[in-house]
């Protein structure tokens, strides 16, 4: 039977890890997969995480199952982080958290929930979006559509976005990136979020807010503006949250699907459905990452250490954005790439074309996604002049 099965190309983002590791160029630079890197190119374990793990090693008393919704303590610490300590949605007891294997797992939970419980509804993603959004929603069998987000000149196409959302069929699902838009780095202003809310309301859409980078844009609270606006203004909202990046626990697969309903009764109904979706996919989520997060967020001391480290990471990325544009100045390219300093989060849509990205890889050992997406965290003061020179060579 297997003889009819064809080989398919690997994932374009994860494939870059392997290609980069194989490259023997001593000057190679990895601007590919979205993991944070320090000034030495490492992805270290955060100090707060190490301390939490030491406590877990000492105090953990069981490895038994944690249940389909995961560790209840995890929901208790993540919901206030995402929605705000004083969120009316929390006070109204109309929100539920289902822990998942990372943000990807939360998206798949949302997708399967939509497919089963909202039959016939389409889902709308930004163009461009994280490529795995397409894979996840298609795998779940949901009709997939796109709305414009970045124009041909590599700028946020907000008018195009609004015009397209205003035509989405009533009741469909619209995926919104809470912050640090992946892949573009173009985020919405507060006024733009308000406009999106207006249109979402008019069309009676269900927002699915993908919140994978809380704390990487402008701050934990600032980055939550759009997600909280939706949560507080609408009866029904889905949010996928991830601790992969902001706690640096990528491989521990720690995230959750947050479901907001009109009232407690409806919330409990959909919560029961989420448990079934989780059970049928993987039964229980992994526990180590959520235990780390709980340990940190329930200790004032560890939480303070973690917040400082997150601030360091965010400041480093935002500083690199400015330094990157400065490094391009000697080549007269600073105006062409000025948007890099304005974008937010790990990623920047550089505006480089696929053949230019190939040139960077082949001639300089610089790796980024062929869409022109660069992980800014992969830059460092040592490699900036090299990367700037390579870009000048690619665009000439």
Q: Which is nearer to ligand LMR, 126 or 182 (CB)?
A: 182
> Least distance from C-beta 104 to ligand LMR, angstroms?
6
> Least distance from C-beta 255 to ligand LMR, angstroms?
11
> Least distance from C-beta 206 to ligand LMR, angstroms?
23
Peptide bond into 128 cis (omega under 30): yes
Q: Which is nearer to ligand LMR, 181 or 316 (CB)?
A: 181
Query: Which of 394, 393, 354, 392 is closest to 373 using CA atoms?
Result: 354
Residue nearest to ligand LMR according to CB distances in the complex:
34
Q: Which is nearer to ligand LMR, 12 or 338 (CB)?
A: 12
Cα→Cα distances 300→48, 50, 297, 306, 356, Å: 11, 16, 7, 10, 48
> Least distance from C-beta 248 to ligand LMR, angstroms?
13
Query: Which of 365, 352, 354, 362 is closest to 391 using CA atoms?
Result: 352
Residue 193: CB partners within 8 Å, gap ≥ 6?
225, 226, 229
**Could you tell me if 240 and 208 are in contact, meaning their C-beta atoms sit under 8 angstroms apart?**
yes
* Residue 396 CB neighbours (<10 A): 9
Q: Which is nearer to ligand LMR, 122 or 131 (CB)?
A: 131
245 is catalytic: yes
Q: Which of 210, 223, 306, 323 is catalytic?
A: 210
> Least distance from C-beta 380 to ligand LMR, angstroms?
18
> Least distance from C-beta 130 to ligand LMR, angstroms?
5
176 - beta bridge partners? Answer: 209
> Least distance from C-beta 14 to ligand LMR, angstroms?
6
> Least distance from C-beta 307 to ligand LMR, angstroms?
22
**Could you tell me if 32 and 367 are in contact, meaning their C-beta atoms sit under 8 angstroms apart?**
yes
Burial 235-253 (b: 16+ CB within 10 A, else e): ebbbbbbbbbbbbbbbebb
Phi, psi of 88 (to 5 degrees): -60, -30
Q: Which of 30, 115, 130, 157 is catalytic?
A: 130
Q: Which is nearer to ligand LMR, 130 or 137 (CB)?
A: 130
Cα→Cα distances 128→151, 157, 214, 287, 344, Å: 10, 11, 20, 33, 16
Q: How far apart are CA 327 and CA 333, in angstroms?
A: 9
Q: How far apart are CA 340 and CA 49, in angstroms?
A: 31
Cα→Cα distances 318→14, 219, 321, 344, 345, Å: 24, 12, 5, 7, 8
Q: Which is nearer to ligand LMR, 33 or 291 (CB)?
A: 33
Residues lying near ligand LMR in the complex (CB under 6 A): 13, 33-34, 130, 132, 182
306 is catalytic: no
- Output the CA torsion 117→122→123→126 (10° steps): -170
Q: Which of 28, 112, 124, 245 is catalytic?
A: 245
Q: Which is nearer to ligand LMR, 205 or 379 (CB)?
A: 379
167 is catalytic: no
Q: Which is nearer to ligand LMR, 70 or 378 (CB)?
A: 378
Phi, psi of 145 (to 5 degrees): -135, 165
Tokens representing 204 are: 């009676």
Active site residues: 130, 210, 245
């Amino acid at each position: 039977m297997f003889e009819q099965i064809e080989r398919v190309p690997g994932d374009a983002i994860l494939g870059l890890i392997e290609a980069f590791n194989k490259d023997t160029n001593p000057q190679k630079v990895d601007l590919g997969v979205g993991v944070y890197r320090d000034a030495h190119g490492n992805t270290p374990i955060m100090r707060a995480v190490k301390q939490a793990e030491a406590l877990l090693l000492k105090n953990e008393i069981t490895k038994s199952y944690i249940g389909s919704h995961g560790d209840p303590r995890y929901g208790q610490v993540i919901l206030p982080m995402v929605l705000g300590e004083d969120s009316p949605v929390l006070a109204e007891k109309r929100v539920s958290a289902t822990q998942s294997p990372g943000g990807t797992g939360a998206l798949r939970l949302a997708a399967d929930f939509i497919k089963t419980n909202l039959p016939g509804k389409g889902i709308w993603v930004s163009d461009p979006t994280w490529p795995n959004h397409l894979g996840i929603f298609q795998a779940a069998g949901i009709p997939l559509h796109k709305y414009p987000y970045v124009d041909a000149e590599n700028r946020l196409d907000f008018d195009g976005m609004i015009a397209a959302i205003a035509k989405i069929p009533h009741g469909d699902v619209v995926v919104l990136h809470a912050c640090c838009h992946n892949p573009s780095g173009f985020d919405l202003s507060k006024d733009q979020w308000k406009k999106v809310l207006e249109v979402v309301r008019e069309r009676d859409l269900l927002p699915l807010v993908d919140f994978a980078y809380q704390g990487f844009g402008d701050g934990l609270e600032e980055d939550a503006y759009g997600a909280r606006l939706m949560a507080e203004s609408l009866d029904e909202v889905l949010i996928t949250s991830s601790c992969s990046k902001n706690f640096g626990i990528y491989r521990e697969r720690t995230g959750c699907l947050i479901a907001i309903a009109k009232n407690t009764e409806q919330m409990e109904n959909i919560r029961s459905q989420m448990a079934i979706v989780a059970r049928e996919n993987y039964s229980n989520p992994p526990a180590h990452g959520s235990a780390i997060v709980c340990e940190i967020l329930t200790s004032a001391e560890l939480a303070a250490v973690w917040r400082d480290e997150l601030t360091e990471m965010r400041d480093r990325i935002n500083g690199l954005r400015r330094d990157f544009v400065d490094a391009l100045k000697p080549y007269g390219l600073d105006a062409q790439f000025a948007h890099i300093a304005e974008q937010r989060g790990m990623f920047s849509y550089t505006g480089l074309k696929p053949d230019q990205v190939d040139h960077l890889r082949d001639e300089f050992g610089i790796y980024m996604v062929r869409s022109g997406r660069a992980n800014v965290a992969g830059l460092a003061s040592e490699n900036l002049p090299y990367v700037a020179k390579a870009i000048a060579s690619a665009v000439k």
